[in-house]
Structure 1
Amino acid sequence: MKIFVAVLSISLLGVVGVVNSQSFYRFSGGRDAIVSMGTGTSTYFGDLKDPGEYMDAKPSLNIGLQHFLTPRISARTEITWFQLRGDDSDANEEGRVVRNLSFRSDNFELNIVGIINALPNGTKFYQRPQFNPYGFVGIGLLYFNPKAQVPSTDWNGTELQKAGEYIALQPLQTEGVDYSRIGIVIPFGAGIKYKANPFINISLEGGYRLTFTDYLDDVSTTYQLHNSVEDPLVQAMADRRHELSLPPLGLELNHIRGNSSNNDGYFLFNLKLEYYLPPNVLSFKKKRRNQRPFKNIQRRRR
């Protein structure tokens, strides 16, 4: 993971370097950088979601910076906050209902993607197409933190001190696994831009995230043996069937709790507002040119 963070940092520096070094003025008329803000929905796919269910969406917010490298190709870095939720009580399958697990999570994603536009921009930035579909793919870093509400009592009927509170599940190791809350994602998707005026685009974008973890929802493999869990809180959070007056499932080894054959994932759908930044905002060329006359004046005085 440290190696990936280093690679991501170098990639970010590379994007900044490209922004400062590329000459796109002959295509864009000096405005080759775009700042964007957006809002939309996030949809979770995992063990606490019915197959084929796509409408259980939660809120998301994002801000990004995009730079055109050619009339059709651009690079973008973006940070997104979004929520994910899943609940067995809403399931269509009886087996999931009696499992009685749930989670909610506030997440952050930082990504870098390459974007290919279907149509090239014109000679000047304001001569771009009125509508322009595009596709994107890249790499990102995800922070997730699944939480669940503490039940009123433990398996012995003793009232729990944090009853009703939402607490992080990863520190509890409900399946005996110390997984990381930071992971790699592969974002890919498509969108369409509409030129609202010479300086502003409005875009609709949808993108799926491939992840390399099955613990976005804290559910993946099997129950721990019920009697081997000493902490009553962990025992109550790992197997919540006592809330339905049902016996525990962790009485035998390797009793299935989740499906580890498929990693979790999520889908982001956003409405974005894009603004073309003034020329040289992200370049040092103009500053360097402005410094030269001052140096010449000093030399003449000497």
Structure 2
Amino acid sequence: MKRIIAVLSIALAGIVELVDAQSFYNFRTGRDVIASVGTGTSTYFGDLKDPGDYMDAKPNLNIGLQYFFHSRIAGRAELHWFRLQGDDSDSELTGKTRRNLSFRSDNFELDLIGIVNAFPQGARFYQRPQFNPYGFIGIGLLYFNPKGQVPQTDWNEDPLPDAGDYIALQPLRTEGVDYNRLAIVIPFGIGVKYKANPFINIGLEGGYRLTFTDYLDDVSTVYQLHSSIEDPLVQAMADRRHEIDLPPLGIDEGHIRGNPANNDGYFLFNIKIEYYLPENILSVNSKNRGKGPRRNIQRRRR
């Protein structure tokens, strides 16, 4: 939480500095570009989550830029960091608690979103509605990296390397699959903006992510045969029933470890602060263009 507050404070300080440098309180220019910063929760849905379980949310952070193409239609580019986590020990289903798998993952999502607002912006940016609901849909690129905590012992009750640490599961190929840690996602959802003052919106937004991978949690198909695994660390991370004194399932072929019929997904809920940037904020030559008209006026006065 301290890190989240620190990141938001730095972002807000930078925007305040930008506001002061660009004479932000100038109503005469149009403002179609919005910078945003936000935080909220992220919720995982997959093989290590019970149906109907919507709690156990983890943190997320995001920054973005939005541009209005029309009075009601905008596009947005946004970068998210968020954590996902799942643990069979929290399940209310006996089959899952006996499986005893778990993971956590720190993830990054870069997305491009199309936004349709319920009401038009108005002739000027500061004439926008006090409240404005909106819907969005887009496409994104996700980087995910599921990790598991190394148990204190392996099959032979000998200490394992890095016991107690979280290590990446994809390189271990716990199911014998070398899956890609990059995935395409489809974000969609709804939100509402509140005009706090002429230049600032406060927004609430919730969006689900359809993914094209079933390995956000490193769980999808069946157990590997132990006879095909030489590394005791891979054995211990792939089949963790030994930690609760149950016989391993990777001894025989075909024991179910996950459900490949449904891809994993996640939900992001955010509170955001949006700032309307000056008209020429993205232009390198904005200062030069601003000086030109003033010179012409002086010449005409002479």
TM-score interval, normalised by the smaller of the two chains: 0.7 to 0.9
Alpha carbons 1:202, 1:272 under 8 Å: kept: yes
Identity of aligned residues (%): 73
- Measured in 2, the distance between the counterparts of 1:288 and 1:66 equals 25
Tell me how far 1:228 sits from its aligned partner. Answer: 1.6
Aligned to 2:186: 186
Q: Decide whether aligned partners of structure 1 residues 70 and 285 sit closer, same or farther in structure 2, where only a CA change above 3 A counts.
A: farther
- Measured in 2, the distance between the counterparts of 1:290 and 1:276 equals 19
Aligned to 2:11: none
- Measured in 2, the distance between the counterparts of 1:227 and 1:249 equals 12
Aligned to 1:154: 154
RMSD, aligned α-carbons: 1.8
Tell me how far 1:289 sits from its aligned partner. Answer: 3.6
Alpha carbons 2:29, 2:278 under 8 Å: kept: no
> Any gaps of 5 or more consecutive residues in structure 1?
1-27, 297-302
Is the counterpart of residue 165 in structure 1 residue 165 in structure 2? yes
- Measured in 2, the distance between the counterparts of 1:30 and 1:282 equals 13
Alpha carbons 2:134, 2:191 under 8 Å: kept: yes
Q: Deviations over 1:174-215 (max 9, x none)?
A: 000000111110000000000000000000000000000000
Q: Secondary structure at the match of 1:235?
A: helix
- Measured in 2, the distance between the counterparts of 1:161 and 1:115 equals 49
Aligned to 1:41: 41
Is the counterpart of residue 115 in structure 1 residue 106 in structure 2? no
The aligned runs of 1:1-302 (5 Å cut-off) are 29-283=29-283, 286=286, 289=289
Alpha carbons 1:29, 1:123 under 8 Å: kept: no
- Measured in 1, the distance between the counterparts of 2:227 and 2:67 equals 57
Q: Decide whether aligned partners of structure 1 residues 126 and 100 sit closer, same or farther in structure 2, where only a CA change above 3 A counts.
A: same
Aligned to 1:12: none
- Measured in 2, the distance between the counterparts of 1:137 and 1:284 equals 31
Alpha carbons 1:73, 1:115 under 8 Å: kept: yes
Aligned to 1:18: none
- Measured in 2, the distance between the counterparts of 1:289 and 1:154 equals 69
Q: Secondary structure at the match of 1:234?
A: helix
Q: Which amino acid aligns with 1:64?
A: G
So what's the TM-score if we normalise by structure 1?
A: 0.86
Aligned to 1:7: none
Tell me how far 1:156 sits from its aligned partner. Answer: 1.5
Alpha carbons 2:131, 2:193 under 8 Å: kept: yes
So what's the TM-score if we normalise by structure 2?
A: 0.86
Q: Which amino acid aligns with 1:33?
A: V
Q: Deviations over 1:104-144 (max 9, x none)?
A: 00000000001000000111100000000000000100000
Alpha carbons 1:148, 1:169 under 8 Å: kept: yes
Q: Decide whether aligned partners of structure 1 residues 126 and 290 sit closer, same or farther in structure 2, where only a CA change above 3 A counts.
A: closer
- Measured in 1, the distance between the counterparts of 2:132 and 2:291 equals 40
Alpha carbons 2:183, 2:211 under 8 Å: kept: yes
Tell me how far 1:283 sits from its aligned partner. Answer: 3.5
Alpha carbons 1:37, 1:63 under 8 Å: kept: yes
Alpha carbons 1:226, 1:235 under 8 Å: kept: yes
Q: What count of residue pairs does the alignment treat as equivalent?
A: 269
